[in-house]
Structure 1
Amino acid sequence: MNRAITPDSLMPYIGTALLIIAGSFFFPQILTFDYLTQQLQIAAFLGLLATGATIVILLGHIDLSVPWVLTGAAILSTALVGSGDPLLTALAVPAALAFGALIGIVNGIGVAVLRIPSMVWTLAINSILLGLAVLNTGGFNPKGEASPLMVSMASGRVLGLPMSFLIWMAVCAVITLFLTRTPFGRYLRSIGYNEKATFLSGVSTPSVVFAAFALAGMCSAMGGVLLAGYANQAYQSMGDPFLLPTIAAVVIGGTSILGGRGGLFGTVGGALFITLLTSILSVMQIGDAWKSIVFGVIILAMLLFQTMRKGAHA
């Protein structure tokens, strides 16, 4: 299904509206402009990760290296800034994005060339990146700091709207154009439906897989840059809490975990829903364990819903 807006993709927006209405009875500040814009700022961090994850899931694969691509990009960018060299400081953000693209290409090689299941390969890459970071830092928080540009990207405002949110929307707009107006988008969905048939039709499926994983890696790296700018530093395992919410945002947004169906419109709604739900659970002083349970239940419920819909239309 190539339509940008579908009933499935509208569900997270309806859920977000219901959360705001219900939450306002217990937490009236939820209706204020400052609170809502703060949620947009925070949603951008998760949204960038979910944007990249959507591209990979449309392929019928999954990327579990998100946590340490994010963390690695944050460590690299803050280390370059911490060097004190103006040139290296200027290269901090481009270097982080290049790092994300490189890891994405490595993931693409494992999946498209070596034919290793994406879940296994990307999880192994995530573990390798974790080990390299620990070797580099000795297990301590990495040294370095965010540049003024990174801080501005994460915490700045334009016409009252968070800069991070505008960056996220710009990334979504560009990728949506690729998905809807170029052969890359058609090939991406075709591979998700049936990779073998797409290959036999003459499409260079490995090239599409490389590009998809590289884009996903860059999105994860940008998320790391923004998080480092928000915290003004990088720290160990800063990406670990984002893996489950990232997948949840994509699935809630109506993208099929089996590939071929979905899009970024729903993912944006899913990220907003997850961010607001997390905020409300925190206000209610719900612990991290219960948050994880809630996210897991939501993912399973959406997968069950998608399976039932697929069976009904079969």
Structure 2
Amino acid sequence: MSTPTVPAPAAQQAPERPSAARRLLRDPVAISAAVTLLLWTATVLYSPSFAGWGQVVTLLTVASFLGVIAIGQTLVIIAGGEGIDLSVGATATLSAIIASRFMAGSDEGFLTAVLLALAACCVVGAVNAVGVLVFRVPPLVMTLGMIAVVTGFIRLYTGGRPEGSAAPLLRTLVTGDTVAGIPGVLWLWLGLTVLVIWLLRRSPFGWRLYAVGGNPSTAYLSGVNTSAVKFAAYVLSSLFAGVGGLLLLGYAQNVYTSLGTDYMLNSVAAAVIGGTALIGGVGGYLGTAIGAVLLTVLDTLLRVAQVGGGEWGDAPRQIIYGAVLIIVLTAYGRQRRLRQ
């Protein structure tokens, strides 16, 4: 009696790879770029003058300040551990106030003013890092408390009346025309964008940052000093916020105590809209830069459409900002690949 042969199992088919078009539709960076283009088109339909080259340059210039401040926010969020830095707005204001006091409208103290301002910002970042890493204070609570500390210091330092103004050299670096009417701040933003993308994707620090954000236990067992990486992320966050504050000083030429307030939540929104997951380990700066432009175009559209103002102030625009962020979180936050 012959033994029946067992049929060979059918070859398992490899999972079907999504098409390029489908991958593009799932890419947060591509989605943000498309939404930005749609919003800009709507703005041009409301006011055709915004299609001019000068208006485009102005829009990108305004977006650059948010884009620079959001660099550090992106690094902190990628580092994971529910990382977020709500103190970037206050830190940017601190940087501008210290720099303006030492510049006093003159180029003589330019370098000293810049170094002192950025050093003060690094201290803020270091204190944030120590609170989060050593004393285990949740990042949201730590950086929110730091806002009060920095704001109180600013009031003591200025007596409630900031003094000084931007050095002519800083004004020239920020607003001075170069090629085709492009101000210097846009070239600086472009250079920082290339540098940060390289830092995240090609440098050992960037690889460690993603590893810590993705799985800190595995990163630690692989020999990564997770505390040092997160410490560096918080210090860099405050440093880039300080750079943003200096650029704002060069643009506005004078300072006031709420100079960087609007950048606190907008920097988070820019990062999230660009595809940086709040769980950490996923994202990049290119998306954040596009997110900064998107929010700027959205604000421009709302102003052109005369949303807000009057007795309501900026409240309607803030509601729409929040709605946009909620929609983006709903769209991106449930994607399985963002949770791996």
Q: Same fold (TM over 0.5)?
A: yes
Give the Cα separation in 1 of the matches to 2:265 and 2:315: 12
Tell me the secondary structure at the aligned position of residue 279 of structure 1: helix
Tell me the secondary structure at the aligned position of residue 262 of structure 2: helix
- For 2:151, the equivalent position in structure 1 comes to 130
* Deviation of 1:157 (Å): 2.0
Amino acid at match of 1:241: D
TM-aligned CA distance change 1:27 to 1:135, over 3 Å: same
- For 1:162, the equivalent position in structure 2 comes to 183
- For 1:290, the equivalent position in structure 2 comes to 316
* Deviation of 1:312 (Å): 9.8
Equivalent in 81, 93, 96 of residue 74 of structure 1: 96
- For 2:327, the equivalent position in structure 1 comes to 301
- Asked if 1:187 corresponds to 2:213, the answer is no
TM-aligned CA distance change 1:136 to 1:97, over 3 Å: closer
- For 2:14, the equivalent position in structure 1 comes to none
8 Å CA contact retained: 2:107, 2:168: no
- Asked if 1:9 corresponds to 2:29, the answer is yes
Give the Cα separation in 2 of the matches to 1:203 and 1:312: 22
Give the Cα separation in 1 of the matches to 2:271 and 2:107: 39
* TM-score of the superposed pair, with normalisation by structure 1: 0.93
- Asked if 1:149 corresponds to 2:175, the answer is no
1:163-312 pair list within 5 angstroms: 163-287=184-308, 288-310=314-336
1:24-63 pair list within 5 angstroms: 24-60=44-80, 61-63=83-85
Residues 184-223 of structure 1, C-alpha deviations (whole Å, 9 max, x = no match): 1111111111222222322111111121112111110011
Q: How many residues align?
A: 308
Tell me the secondary structure at the aligned position of residue 91 of structure 1: helix
8 Å CA contact retained: 2:94, 2:154: yes
Identical-pair percentage: 36
* Deviation of 1:85 (Å): 8.4
* Greater RCO, CA 8 A, separation 6+: 1
Give the Cα separation in 2 of the matches to 1:145 and 1:117: 37
8 Å CA contact retained: 1:281, 1:291: yes
Give the Cα separation in 1 of the matches to 2:199 and 2:258: 32
* Deviation of 1:149 (Å): 2.0
Unaligned runs of 5+ in 1: none
* Deviation of 1:257 (Å): 1.0
Amino acid at match of 2:334: M
Residues 223-268 of structure 1, C-alpha deviations (whole Å, 9 max, x = no match): 1001111111111111111212211111110110111101011111
Give the Cα separation in 1 of the matches to 2:200 and 2:333: 24
* Deviation of 1:84 (Å): 5.9
Give the Cα separation in 1 of the matches to 2:191 and 2:124: 23
* Deviation of 1:313 (Å): 8.2
Amino acid at match of 1:296: G
8 Å CA contact retained: 1:254, 1:266: yes
* Deviation of 1:42 (Å): 0.6
Could you say which structure has the larger radius of gyration? 2
TM-aligned CA distance change 1:311 to 1:44, over 3 Å: closer
Give the Cα separation in 1 of the matches to 2:301 and 2:262: 17
TM-aligned CA distance change 1:227 to 1:91, over 3 Å: same
- For 1:96, the equivalent position in structure 2 comes to 117
* Deviation of 1:102 (Å): 2.2
Give the Cα separation in 1 of the matches to 2:195 and 2:338: 34
Amino acid at match of 2:98: L
Unaligned runs of 5+ in 2: 1-23, 309-313
Equivalent in 65, 79, 92 of residue 87 of structure 2: 65
8 Å CA contact retained: 1:41, 1:163: no
Residues 2-21 of structure 1, C-alpha deviations (whole Å, 9 max, x = no match): xxx97111111111111122
* TM-score of the superposed pair, with normalisation by structure 2: 0.86
Give the Cα separation in 2 of the matches to 1:289 and 1:276: 18
Give the Cα separation in 2 of the matches to 1:306 and 1:271: 17
8 Å CA contact retained: 1:78, 1:144: yes
